[in-house]
Chains A and B, each alone.
With several copies, the nearest count.
Chain A
């Protein structure tokens, strides 16, 4: 259950961990996956034991699994969140040129990223809050634009219950028409593309006791039954 609760909610929203657990179900065995900072990075904790993922990090790392607890580990084996993965005997190291050949070339199967806003046609904003005026792009634009399967794992609204799934993103964009799936604390929504740029949001799952009408109320663009 989430820290967030709003008076009109039909039932509690799920926690960050629950979002990660639900997103993790979409990672097939043996796939190459890049996890963004925040909720996405939690997905690694919720994989079924029979699923083996090759995580890629922008730092130039492939094949890691467990992270050392804070304060331990080797700074020469780092993921993009600044964590130190355990040096298991299947890691591959490479430089940033190769790391982004891999990303920009579309060789990563799936990326799970955080989101500030996602639009009805699959646009993503996740790198800057306009009021701050400065933000960090990092690898997010390369990943969102070039990965065949982009999953956004985020809360459905802000802490002030302002919808993050919107008709048109008002925050600076990360990439257009890039999102394939949105996993939130109340819903799992597929972005179904009719063409490269036209999409429809299809509701695939809801949190317990949430109905499509409840979800529509906190979503600023139309969502459809599957």
Chain B
């Protein structure tokens, strides 16, 4: 029987992404856990007016953040350079240094895109909530800062908290080391990061993996994302130079 989750081409796996789609991009920032091939395919596909949701975003190309030295970094900047982004929601869109200026900062400065900055823990919890049927939660992170502006405040046990709402998306592009044919994913080290949360939070989740193995070939105690959350799986070519 045909396994409908397996795709042979990165471009085929994302071709229903349309103008105006919202797209989560996994990993932490840096090359580990980043779905680099899916990102390049999305750039090549070329949909516009995208909302991009990711954590650290667009700083690797200017600072080398989280990339080995022997390879030119790829990051979310490619979508800004191509004029595909209406809005980015992230926790870390610019490095401490101001030179060279990143693609995101450039796009923001010229008014070509909106940048919404969310504390990292709040961002991942908003994403988790979208995947797990929780429409909103309270956190003290951001209380008394611009993050709390126009948000509902509430006191529990004498401490002040703000209401934060679930953040879903149309597509999640994620990255793992291995997938089995059902989409159970195994991650390595810190490459988990935002991938497991994002896998649960979109209508369609697409996983870029180094290897696809048979059911049962991943140690069940090491599965980081159960296959119920994964709609499409694409394997990288052997010897792909990107980490």
Contact = CB atoms under 8 A, between A and B. Distances in A.
B142 A82 contact: no
Interface in B74-112: 91-96, 98, 105, 108
B106 to A, nearest CB: 11
A62 B226 contact: yes
A70 B69 contact: yes
Contacts of A190: none
B197 A141 contact: no
B31 A96 contact: no
Nearest to A70: B69
Nearest to B120: A139
Contacts of A37: 96
B68 A71 contact: yes
Interface residues of B, number: 75
B92 to A, nearest CB: 4
Nearest to B201: A105
A50 B127 CA distance: 37
Contacts of B196: 95-97
A107 B194 CA distance: 19
Contacts of B65: 82
B172 interface: no
Contacts of B215: 89-90
Given A76-B32, A93-B190, A97-B197, A145 B228 contact: no
B124 interface: yes
Given A90-B216, A135-B94, A139-B119, A95 B132 contact: no
A106 interface: yes
Interface string A64-92: 00000011011111101010000111111
Interface of B is mostly: loop
Interface residues of A, number: 62
Choose among A54, A94, A135 the residue with the greatest number of B CB atoms under 10 Å from its CB.
A94
B147 interface: yes
Contacts of B92: 136-138
A138 B56 contact: yes
Choose among B28, B68, B223 the residue with the greatest number of A CB atoms under 10 Å from its CB.
B28
B136 interface: no
Nearest to A50: B1
B243 A32 contact: no
A94 B228 CA distance: 13
Interface in B26-74: 28-33, 55-56, 63-70
Interface string B167-191: 0000000000000101010011111
A145 B220 contact: no
B184 to A, nearest CB: 6
B22 interface: no
A108 B228 CA distance: 8
B91 A92 contact: no
Contacts of A4: none
Contact of A102 (B91, B145, B228): B228
Contacts of B217: 89
Nearest to B142: A141
A206 interface: no
Interface stretch (A12-20, A151-159, A171-179): A171-179
B189 to A, nearest CB: 4
A109 B203 CA distance: 14
6 contacts: A63-B182, A89-B217, A90-B182, A93-B187, A95-B197, A134-B115
Interface of B: 28-33, 55-56, 63-70, 91-96, 98, 105, 108, 115, 117-122, 124-125, 128, 131-134, 139-147, 180, 182, 184, 187-197, 200, 215-217, 220-221, 223-224, 226-229, 243
Interface of A: 32, 37-38, 54, 56-63, 70-71, 73-78, 80, 82, 87-108, 123, 132, 134-142, 145-146, 172-176
Q: Which 10 A-B pairs have the closest CB atoms?
A: A89-B216, A100-B121, A104-B133, A101-B132, A142-B121, A95-B192, A82-B65, A75-B32, A76-B189, A141-B119
Given A92-B226, A104-B132, A136-B92, 18 more contacts: A58-B28, A61-B189, A73-B68, A75-B243, A76-B189, A82-B63, A94-B226, A99-B124, A100-B120, A105-B131, A134-B108, A136-B95, A137-B92, A137-B120, A138-B56, A142-B122, A173-B145, A176-B145
